[in-house]
C-alpha cells in the first residue's frame, strides 16, 4: 500500500513538473524546475530500490548541475512572457514520440516480474556468488567494479574525454583587459557577507568528509567513486562560488586539476595492467592480494580511487572552463 501511494504520488509530481518545464520560458525558472525534477526522480529511484542510481542522481542534481547552469545563463535571455504553451508542432512531435515510447514498452516484462529476462540470466549468478568471489556486501559495486570492470573503465574514459573536449573548446586565456561593460569582473565577492562566509566555510569540510565517506564506503552501502567525485567537486567549487574562480585557482591550480583528470584514468588502467603482469587477465584483481577476496578488495579500492579522482577533477575543470574570463 505504501509502495503504491508513493509510486503514484511521485509519478504525478513528476508529470506536473514536466508540464511546468514545458511551459516555462525563463532560463532561471527552468534551472530551478529541473532541480525539482531531479529530486523527485531521485526519490522515485529510492522507491524502486535502485539506491546507487538514486545516489548518483542526488549528487549530480543537487551538487553540480545548478552550478554549471547558473554559470552559463544570462539575464539578457530572460523573456518578456515567462509562461506560454509551446508551438503546436512541438506538442505534436512530443506526443508522437511519447506514443512511440509507450508502444515500445508493450513488449517489456511487467513491473516487478520475477520471470523477466534481466532477472534470469546473469543476475542469479551475481546475486548468489558475488559475496564468495568478491567478498563485499554491495552487489552493485561488485558488478560495476569487478565483473564489469571494462565497462566502468569505458565510462571513466568517457568522462575524461568529455572534460578534455570542454577544455579544448574553452576560449583563449589571454583575453586582454576587462571591458567596462563586463560587470562580472566588478561584482563584490560573496565572502563579504558574514552569514554566507561563516556558515558555508564550515560546510566545505563536512561536504568533503561526506564525499570521502561515500568514496570508501561504496563497498558496503550505496555510493562509490562516481558519486564521491561529484560531491568532492561540489565541496571544492563552493569556495569558488563564495570568493571567485581566480581565488580558487590560486589554491588548486587548473594545471593540477587537468593532471588529476588524466591521473585517475591512469590509476584505473595501471591496476588492470598489474593483473596482466601477475599472470591473470586485464582487470582481474584476484591476483593482487594474498587471497582472492583480498585482491578483489584492493583492486576495487584502487579503481574507485581512480574514478573519484577523474570525476572530481573533471567537475572542477568544467567549473573553471565556464568561469573563464571572469573575475
Residues 6 or more apart whose CB falls under 8 angstroms from that of 258 comprise 167, 313, 317
Contact 146, 298 (CB under 8 A): no
CA distance 205 to 203: 6
* Contacting other proteins within 52-81 (CB under 8 A): 54-55, 58-59, 62-64, 66-67, 69-71, 73-75
Joined grid coordinates for residue 101: 515510447
Please report whether residue 120 would count as binding other proteins according to CB under 8 A. Answer: no
Please report whether residue 201 would count as binding other proteins according to CB under 8 A. Answer: no
* Contacting other proteins within 228-247 (CB under 8 A): 231, 234, 238, 241-242
Query: Measured from the CB atom, is 232 or 271 closer to other proteins?
Result: 232
Give the CB-side neighbour count of residue 186, counting CA atoms within 13 A: 7
CA distance 65 to 68: 5
Query: Measured from the CB atom, is 141 or 258 closer to other proteins?
Result: 141
Please report whether residue 310 would count as binding other proteins according to CB under 8 A. Answer: no
Among 3, 129, 253, 281, binds other proteins (CB under 8 A): 3
CA distance 168 to 259: 15
Please report whether residue 144 would count as binding other proteins according to CB under 8 A. Answer: no
Among 131, 210, 216, 282, binds other proteins (CB under 8 A): 210
Q: How far is the CB of 231 from other proteins (least distance, A)?
A: 7
If we measure between CA atoms, which residue out of 67, 71, 56 comes closest to residue 228?
A: 56
Instruction: Report helix, strand or coil for 28.
Output: helix
Contact 28, 78 (CB under 8 A): yes
Q: DSSP code of 144?
A: I
Positions touching other proteins (CB under 8 A) are 1-3, 5-6, 9-10, 12-13, 16-17, 20, 23-24, 28-29, 32-33, 35-36, 39-40, 42-43, 46-47, 51, 54-55, 58-59, 62-64, 66-67, 69-71, 73-75, 82-83, 183-184, 187-188, 190, 196, 199-200, 203, 206-207, 210, 214, 221-223, 231, 234, 238, 241-242, 326
Amino acid at each position: 500500500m505504501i509502495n503504491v501511494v508513493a509510486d503514484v504520488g511521485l509519478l504525478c509530481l513528476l508529470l506536473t513538473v514536466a508540464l511546468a518545464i514545458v511551459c516555462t520560458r525563463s532560463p532561471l525558472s527552468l534551472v530551478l524546475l529541473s532541480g525539482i525534477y531531479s529530486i523527485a526522480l531521485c526519490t522515485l529511484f529510492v522507491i524502486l530500490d535502485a539506491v546507487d542510481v538514486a545516489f548518483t542522481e542526488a549528487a549530480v542534481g543537487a551538487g553540480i548541475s545548478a552550478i554549471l547552469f547558473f554559470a552559463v545563463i544570462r539575464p539578457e535571455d530572460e523573456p518578456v512572457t515567462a509562461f506560454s504553451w509551446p508551438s503546436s508542432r512541438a506538442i505534436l512531435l512530443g506526443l508522437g514520440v511519447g506514443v512511440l515510447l509507450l508502444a515500445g514498452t508493450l513488449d517489456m516484462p511487467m513491473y516487478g516480474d520475477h520471470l523477466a529476462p534481466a532477472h534470469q540470466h546473469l543476475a542469479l549468478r551475481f546475486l548468489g556468488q558475488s559475496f564468495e568471489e568478491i567478498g563485499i556486501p554491495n552487489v552493485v559495486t561488485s558488478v560495476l567494479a569487478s565483473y564489469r570492470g571494462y565497462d566502468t573503465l569505458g565510462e571513466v574514459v568517457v568522462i575524461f574525454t568529455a572534460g578534455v573536449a570542454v577544455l579544448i573548446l574553452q576560449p583563449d586565456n589571454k583575453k586582454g583587459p576587462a571591458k567596462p561593460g563586463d560587470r562580472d569582473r566588478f561584482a563584490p565577492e560573496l565572502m563579504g557577507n558574514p552569514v554566507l562566509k561563516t556558515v558555508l566555510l564550515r560546510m566545505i569540510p563536512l561536504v568533503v568528509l561526506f564525499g570521502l565517506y561515500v568514496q570508501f564506503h561504496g563497498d558496503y552501502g550505496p555510493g562509490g567513486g562516481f558519486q564521491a567525485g561529484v560531491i568532492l567537486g561540489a565541496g571544492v567549487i563552493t569556495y569558488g562560488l563564495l570568493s571567485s574562480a581566480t581565488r580558487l585557482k590560486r589554491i588548486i591550480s587548473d594545471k593540477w586539476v587537468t593532471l588529476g583528470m588524466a591521473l585517475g584514468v591512469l590509476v584505473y588502467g595501471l591496476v588492470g595492467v598489474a593483473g596482466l603482469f601477475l599472470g591473470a587477465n586485464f582487470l582481474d584483481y584476484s591476483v593482487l592480494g594474498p587471497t582472492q577476496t583480498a585482491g578483489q578488495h584492493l583492486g576495487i579500492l584502487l579503481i574507485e580511487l581512480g574514478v573519484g579522482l577523474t570525476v572530481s577533477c573533471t567537475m572542477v575543470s568544467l567549473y573553471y572552463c565556464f568561469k573563464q574570463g571572469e573575475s
